Structure 1
Amino acid sequence: MPAHGPEEEDKPCRACSDFKTWAKAQNKTTLNPPNKMAPAKATDCPLDKDELGRSTWGFLHSMASYYPDKPTRREAEDMSKFFNIFSKFYPCEPCALDFQEDIKKNPPRTDSKDHLAKWLCERHNTVNLKLGKPLFDCSKIHERWRDGWKDGSCD
């Protein structure tokens, strides 16, 4: 990630925080007086950390599930490069640095759709474990991200 000047050090990073934390850091409140409903967050606001994460994982998993069964050498190289470059420019710097370290230890497996999708699922589960979130059953990745659930609930 690019180096930040001293004035940027204390500035809250919306992509690194959930909305409530970011809003508090901006000296704003998301709470209303008792008996009043909180206003809905506008849908055209910048993504917070949680929204960015969900959107990113959705994009990456979908991309992996539509990757070729038998990629060419060039496609496999390009996909490996993509993940390495992606990890350098992800907007949440702590997340980016963590992902960079993870893929150094566990390089992208780009020799097939199934290997790439499983590799990505394992990377996602590594993050979920750190965040105390449930782990995903990696045997169901294509059902979740390409084909739809076998029970027909996505039809």
Structure 2
Amino acid sequence: MPAHRSEDEDKPCRACSDFKTWAKSQNKTTLNTPNKVAPVKPADCPLDKDDLGRSTWGFLHSMASYYPDKPTRRQAEDMSKFFNIFSQFYPCEPCALDFQEDIKKHPPKTDSRDHLAQWLCERHNTVNRKLGKPLFDCSKIHERWRDGWKDGSCD
């Protein structure tokens, strides 16, 4: 059993559900009832699956875009270890298991900044494809996560 599983296996996992689904499972609201308003999650609540995913991808992409152009052998090994350890402890178990399988098939490419950033973008697009979300143009990865858009909108 993964170390991050809750003791109460029947209790819905916030990190594995979006807020509305989680709130429904807690009987806090019924969205299909007339005159009921969808719940608004206060900003200081635990992250739900969507918040966690956005935050995590933002962190990982930023980390990859600031990774050394020419990492030492130790840095490359450590980054590869990081992704393998990360996949074991990600709070959403189905997401963690899925990522573990994906990186077994496609191990981290840690020999350069560009290779790591492209590898991560491909992994993210694998998830986006499964979720029916738009794919990101991986040629713009550093523009998005390090340099800012060429149109100056981030300046």
- Tell me the TM-score normalised to structure 1 length: 0.92
Contact 2:20 2:39 (8 Å CA) reproduced: no
1:135 lines up with 2:135 in the alignment: yes
Matches of 1:119 and 1:3, distance apart in 2: 26
Contact 2:29 2:38 (8 Å CA) reproduced: no
Contact 1:69 1:114 (8 Å CA) reproduced: yes
Matches of 1:73 and 1:61, distance apart in 2: 21
**Percent of aligned pairs sharing the same letter:** 86
Matches of 1:67 and 1:92, distance apart in 2: 26
Matches of 2:113 and 2:4, distance apart in 1: 36
AA aligned to 2:57 is W
Contact 1:16 1:48 (8 Å CA) reproduced: yes
Contact 1:20 1:30 (8 Å CA) reproduced: no
Report the equivalent of 1:99. 99
Q: Size of the alignment, in residue pairs?
A: 153
Quote how far apart the aligned CAs of 1:61 are: 0.1
Structure 2 unaligned regions, length at least 5: none
Pairing of 1:5-24 with structure 2 (within 5 A): 8-24=8-24
Structure 1 unaligned regions, length at least 5: none
Pairing of 1:57-96 with structure 2 (within 5 A): 57-96=57-96
SS in structure 1 of the partner of residue 8 of structure 2: helix
Change over 3 Å in CA distance of 1:37–1:29 after alignment to 2: closer
User: Deviation above 3 Å: which 4+ runs of structure 1?
Assistant: 30-33, 36-40
Matches of 1:151 and 1:3, distance apart in 2: 42
AA aligned to 2:124 is H
Contact 1:117 1:141 (8 Å CA) reproduced: yes
Matches of 1:4 and 1:47, distance apart in 2: 16
Superposition RMSD in Å? 1.8
1:2 lines up with 2:26 in the alignment: no
> Could you report, residue by residue, the CA deviation over 1:58-116 in whole angstroms, capped at 9, with x for unpaired residues?
00000000000000000000000000000000000000000000000000000000000
Change over 3 Å in CA distance of 1:134–1:152 after alignment to 2: same
